[in-house]
Amino acid sequence: MKNEALRILLADYDIDSLNLFESLLLDNGYQVLTATNGTDVKNKAIVFRPHIILIDMMNAEYSGAKVVLQLRSNPLFNDTIILIHTATYEDAIQHEALNMVVDGFLNRDISSELFLMQIKRYLRRIDTWTSYREILDFPGLSIDVEGYVVRKDNRVIDLAKREFELLIFLASEPRRVFSRKEISNQIWGDQKSNDDRILDVYISKLRDKIGKNFIQTMKGVGYSFVTS
């Protein structure tokens, strides 16, 4: 798989460090997204669908260990490569539970050349995922995440790209109520319209296509994906 097709999510509270590793990966052709807090990591991972998540162990904004355990509890990230960026190996081995759910640890102080070699080593396993296809199955609704295909009662539903991304974001954590701001930031980012009604329009279109019962409105808060 070519570098430009590989997606890496970097999570670090240290902006200088974040910018350094982001530039290094971008210069080598990878797609890169950055995050600086725990909620940002989880939400961006849902939309960006990274092959690797490289997350700082501990900082003032969030617990790296806690975020990793939350990610691993979500079926969307069962096959995502999760790596911990840590100052020393001693820091890593203190987290026995973490050792069971992450794919490896990278020392923050290694050279740029060695860092890239380590990233490539972990990414090689992606070539073995030839039969892998991530499917989210719910009663009456099936979502092929990698193939961008949605089926309702075994019938393919035609969704626009934004509609599909909105559905994936909501369905990634059924019954969780996402705020309107949270949804808009993750789906539209800097390109989002100042007109708050654009989200309502997309929700309405999505309901018309997949059925009104799958998306619930929490008045004054936001929306959630529900199953019967």
Query: What would the CATH number be for the domain defined by 135-225?
Result: 1.10.10.10
Give residue 105's pLDDT. Answer: 80
pTM for this model (two decimals): 0.60
Q: Where in the chain do CATH 3.40.50.2300 domains reside?
A: 3-128
What CA–CA distance (Å, rounded) separates 109 from 55?
Answer: 15
Give residue 110's pLDDT. Answer: 80
Please list the ranges in the chain whose pLDDT falls under 70: 1-5, 57-64, 87-100, 126-134, 189-196, 228
Q: Bridge-partner residues for 152, per DSSP?
A: 141, 155
Asked whether 227 and 139 are in contact (CB, 8 A), the reply is yes
Q: Which two tokens stand for residue 161?
A: 């790209």
What CA–CA distance (Å, rounded) separates 54 from 12?
Answer: 9
Question: Which stretches within the chain are classed as H helix?
Answer: 15-27, 38-48, 64-72, 89-93, 96-99, 112-123, 161-171, 180-187, 197-210
Give residue 154's pLDDT. Answer: 84
| 38-92 pLDDT tens trace | 888 888 888 888 999 998 865 545 566 778 888 888 878 888 899 887 765 555 5
What CA–CA distance (Å, rounded) separates 89 from 128?
Answer: 28
Give residue 130's pLDDT. Answer: 40
> In this structure, is the dihedral angle defined by the CA atoms of residues 211, 216, 219 and 223, taken in order, positive or negative?
negative
Q: Where in the chain do CATH 1.10.10.10 domains reside?
A: 135-225
Q: Please tell me what DSSP assigns to residue 200.
A: H
Give residue 91's pLDDT. Answer: 52
Give residue 210's pLDDT. Answer: 94
Radius of gyration, alpha carbons of the chain: 19
What CA–CA distance (Å, rounded) separates 108 from 225?
Answer: 39
Q: Does domain 3-128 have CATH number 1.10.10.10?
A: no
Asked whether 178 and 170 are in contact (CB, 8 A), the reply is yes
Alpha carbon separation from 64 to 12, 41, 84, 95 (Å, rounded): 9, 10, 8, 11
